[in-house]
């Protein structure tokens, strides 16, 4: 089956099937019946799932951006208030403007954004929209793998005048309505629950062999390849984005520790000089008396200030890192990628269709586990410290 050319902006999109539906429609109109099950599944997903997925996905991106802006402003303005307050105590004449005014402005900005985040709940709204979007994505591929769409009597009517594809549509519509009706409390509760796999048997009639091959081909190209590319990309970016703050934290900690050691060394030297009986010829080292004492005090203030700012800076970075969970997300992406790569190879080696579809179902289970783990991970994040 042909696939659409992929642009850098849409290379991770496995939901928009405009090209595939158009291609399948042309094949069905040309009399190629093997494309009917795939065309039916994609049409159902396009009509009933895709509009709500797109709305939820856009809402999740908007709320995520809002969450990141609020959390960053709250963290860094709070850190600025601490720095200004410390400098105001140690160096009263350091700021050209009244230090109290600057400190109050930074603290007020921090409080305002914390209150805004607490009131507007961007993290909760982001996680709710993301949960809905990812479960709509799972629903699409669960529909694709639904055997009712390729069984022999797919066009026969039951007692209610409905075909198996009509039953699939009704189930999909009910699932979409259920997801749209969720609130954040529902998502938080579901995040604490496990994933129940589908253990029903898969029957692949010989008469549908070619149709099933088209579905598997589509699944591997559209779902697995897209997800593996996305996970490989995200694991790299999350690890890179997390490594730089980690490096700065390490630098800040050891710089602070180094300044503490310097401060202790200077204090010890000053003590020895101030006690001539402990150090011979001390007058040669400290001949200035009072001026030397004032210089020592100034140096001490600078060293202690830098040493105290280090932990404050580290605390700010740790809060920023915690609001995004860089390393944990990178590990989660790599673990899921490893599982999908192994299953993709097993699907390629499988000789019969039933086994291929069982592997596809397992892939969906892995991706559902990954989505649940994301919700559990981010649900407990304290975004402002």
Tokens of 290: 């009072």
For residues 87 and 113, the answer to whether their CB atoms sit within 8 Å is no
CB 44 within 8 A of CB 170: no
pLDDT value at position 3? 52
Q: Which whole-number Å values give the CA distances from 14 to 4, 148, 219, 258, 349, in the listed order?
A: 11, 22, 10, 52, 24
Task: Give the span between the Cα atoms of 301 and 294, in whole angstroms.
Answer: 11
Token pair 């109050």 in the structure block, residue: 104
Question: In which region does residue 31 sit, left (phi positive, over 0), alpha (psi from -120 to 50) or beta (all else)?
Answer: left
The number of residues in the chain equals 385
Q: pLDDT tens-digit profile of 10-34?
A: 578 999 999 999 999 999 999 999 9
pLDDT value for 241: 56
CA distances from 266 to 269, 274, 298 (A): 5, 12, 12
pLDDT of amino acid 8: 43
Q: What is the pTM of this model?
A: 0.78
Q: What CA–CA distances, in Å, run from 48 to 7, 25, 130, 141?
A: 26, 18, 18, 13
Q: Hey, how many other C-beta atoms are within 10 angstroms of the C-beta on 214?
A: 21
Residue pair 132/122 in contact (Cβ under 8 Å)? The answer is no
- Closest CA relative to residue 223, chosen from 340, 72, 86, 350: 340
Determine the pLDDT at residue 300: 63
What is the per-residue pLDDT for 137? 97
Q: Which residues of the chain have pLDDT under 50?
A: 5-9, 263, 271-273, 278-288, 385
């Amino acid at each position: 089956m042909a696939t659409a050319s992929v642009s850098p902006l849409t290379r991770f999109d496995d939901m928009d099937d405009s090209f595939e539906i158009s291609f399948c429609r042309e094949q069905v109109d040309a009399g190629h019946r093997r494309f009917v099950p795939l065309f039916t599944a994609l049409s159902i997903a396009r009509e009933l799932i895709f509009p709500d997925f797109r709305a939820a996905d856009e809402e999740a991106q908007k709320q995520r951006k809002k969450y990141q802006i609020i959390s960053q402003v709250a963290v860094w303005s709070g850190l600025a208030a601490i720095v200004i307050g410390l400098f105001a105590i140690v160096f009263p004449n350091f700021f050209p403007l009244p230090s109290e005014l600057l400190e109050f402005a930074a603290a007020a900005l921090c409080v305002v954004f914390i209150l805004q985040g607490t009131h507007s709940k961007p993290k909760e709204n982001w996680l709710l929209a993301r949960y809905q979007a990812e479960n709509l994505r799972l629903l699409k591929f669960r529909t694709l793998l639904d055997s009712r769409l390729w069984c022999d009597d797919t066009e026969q009517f039951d007692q209610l005048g409905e075909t198996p594809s009509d039953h699939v549509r009704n189930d999909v519509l009910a699932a979409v309505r259920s997801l749209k009706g969720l609130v954040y409390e529902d998502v938080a509760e579901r995040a604490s629950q496990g994933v129940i796999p589908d253990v029903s048997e898969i029957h692949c009639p010989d008469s549908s062999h070619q149709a099933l091959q088209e579905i598997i081909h589509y699944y591997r190209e559209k779902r697995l390849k897209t997800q593996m590319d996305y996970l490989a990309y995200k694991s790299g970016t999350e690890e890179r984005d997390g490594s730089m703050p980690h490096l700065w934290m390490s630098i800040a900690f050891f710089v602070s520790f180094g300044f503490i050691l310097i401060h202790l060394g200077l204090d010890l030297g000053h003590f020895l000089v101030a006690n001539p009986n402990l150090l011979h010829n001390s007058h040669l080292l400290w001949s200035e008396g009072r001026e030397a004492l004032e210089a020592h005090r100034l140096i001490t203030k600078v060293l202690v200030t830098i040493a105290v700012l280090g932990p404050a800076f580290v605390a700010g970075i740790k809060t920023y890192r915690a609001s995004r969970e860089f390393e944990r997300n990178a590990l989660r992406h790599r673990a899921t990628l490893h599982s999908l790569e192994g299953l993709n190879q097993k699907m390629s080696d499988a000789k019969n269709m039933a086994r291929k579809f069982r592997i596809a179902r397992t892939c969906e289970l892995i991706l559902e586990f990954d989505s649940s783990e994301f919700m559990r991970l981010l649900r407990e994040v304290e975004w402002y410290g």
